[in-house]
Amino acid sequence: MKSFKLILVAIILSVTFSSCTKDDDSSVDNENLLANYTLLKTLKSNNYNIEVYSEEEEFTVGYNELFIRIKEGTSENYLPNAEFSWKPIMHMTQMVHSCPKSEIVKIKNESIYKGYIVFQMPGNTDEYWELTINFSIDNKEYKATTQIDVKAPLDDKRRVNTFMGSDDSRYVLAMLPINPKVSLNDFSAVLFKMENMMNFPIVENYKVMLDPRMPGMGNHSSPNNVDLIYDTNDKTYKGKLSLTMTGYWKINLKLINDVAETIKGEDITEENPESSLFFELEF
């Protein structure tokens, strides 16, 4: 009888817990939408405040998914009818350059706008990033500029590659953030060609071949990886990354162009334990 009661209590508890979980999942609350994100920067212009949020704690080298919202003065109402464009600029001691970035698009039915920037390098004492956001509200154009602090990733693992390809073009290849698990993970990357210091158009229809390895354990690989293929819908390269255990993984890459020529990267062999093009993960 006692155990029956215990079971009953357990069932009730589990129902309570599971229903709580469901509530949390389904509550798409406008106010709380960015509650779990960090406000990285507020830009001010003409009494408008532009807030830039990220899932990360700071602007980081690599792919940064950023969320933007705008309000007027001290008002609590965020504006749903703004239009944005942006330009990140790196002020180096010898030169100035930009980096790959997306358009900024509005999230459906929200006053939140979204886009990404791929920083190739961190700032330092002599060199810094500057972010300019151009926006228009009610057909009026405004501009806000601020200096931002871009940090190297805390784990110091490579998330972005800037390189010269065998076709003498410069490319930027960045992985999308991943919450790695011991499983077959969804894995994506974005690829840009560096046309000049300021323009980084998306490269379409190439292929990124994966060969994840564990250098700490005989440089073994993992099975059933799926190479990254260009997806026209969201303009990213998508595939599957299989990780058979936790730890440090070097994801060796080979970039192949649309006519099957190798642009960058080498096969892994006994003699060649790593590719010159790679990402890193540790979990």
Partner 1 sequence: MKAHITVPSLNVIKEIQARMVILLCLALSFLMVTFTVNAQKVITKSQDTILPLITLNEVILISAKQELQYQKQYKPLSSLDEYLEFSRKVDMIKRGAYAWEPTLNNMTSERLSVTIDGMKVFGACTDKMDPITSYVDVSNLSKAHIISGQKGAAYGSTIGGAINLELDKSNFKGTGFKASIENSYETNNKLKVIGAEANFSNTDFYVDSDIVYRKAENYSDGDGKEIAFSQYEKYNVSINGGYKTNPKNAITATLIFDEAHNIGYPALPMDVSLARALITSIGFENDSIGAFSNFKSKIYYNTVTHIMDDSKRPDVPIRMDMPGWSDTYGFMSEAKLKTKKHSFLLKWDGFYNQSLAEMTMYPNNPNERSMFMLTWPDIRTLNSGIYAEDDISFKKSSFNISTRVAIQNSTIADEFGLNSLKIFYPNINKNQVRVLKSLSVQWHKNFVPYRLNFGLSYGDRAPSVSEAYGFYLFNSFDNHDYIGDPKLKNEESLEANAKISIEKSNYELGIESTAFRMPNYIIGEIDTSLSTMTIGADGVKIYKNLTYANLINVAINGQYKIFPELVLDGQVSYHRGKDNKNRNLPFISPLSYSSSIQYNKKRFSGTFKIRGAAKQVNFNSDFGEDQTLAYTVFSLNFGKTFYLNNDLVYAKMGVENLFDKKYSTYTDWKNIPRMGRNFFITLTYSMY
Catalog residues that contact partner 1 under the rule CB under 8 A: 3-4, 6-7, 10-11, 13-14, 17-18, 20-21, 24-25, 36, 181-184, 214, 216-218, 220-224, 242, 244-248, 282-283
Alpha carbons 268 and 52: distance in angstroms, whole number: 41
**Residues across the chain:** 283
Q: How far is the CB of 28 from partner 1 (least distance, A)?
A: 14
Nearer to partner 1, 3 or 232 (CB): 3
Nearest alpha carbon to residue 243 among 204, 203, 200, 283:
283
User: Residue 177 Cβ, how far from partner 1 at the closest point, in Å?
Assistant: 17
- Looking at the Cβ atoms of 19 and 46, the one nearer to partner 1 is 19
Rg (CA), the chain: 22
CA pseudo-torsion sign 161, 103, 25, 57:
positive
Residue closer to partner 1, measured from CB, 54 or 102: 54
Q: Rounded to the nearest whole angstrom, what is the least distance from the CB of residue 17 to partner 1 in the complex? A: 5
Give the DSSP per-residue string, 164-200: E-TTS-EEEEEEPP----SSEEEEEEEEEEE-SSS--
In terms of CB distance, is 73 or 223 closer to partner 1?
223
**Tokens 């890459």 correspond to what residue?**
253
The nearest distance, CB 18 to partner 1, in angstroms, is 6
- Residue 183 in contact with residue 240, Cβ under 8 Å? no
Q: Do 177 and 155 contact (CB within 8 A), yes or no? A: no
Alpha-carbon span 250 to 157, nearest angstrom: 9
Give rounded-to-5 percent helix, strand, coil for the chain. Answer: 10, 45, 40
CB of 174 vs partner 1, minimal distance in Å: 23
Residue among 13 and 229 whose Cβ is closer to partner 1: 13
Question: What is the maximum alpha-carbon separation in the chain?
Answer: 81
Nearer to partner 1, 96 or 182 (CB): 182
Of 101, 113, 146, 158, the C-alpha closest to 276 is 158
Q: How far is the CB of 274 from partner 1 (least distance, A)?
A: 15
Q: Supply 26's token pair.
A: 């389904």
6 versus 229: smaller Cβ distance to partner 1? 6
CB of 241 to partner 1, least distance (A): 10
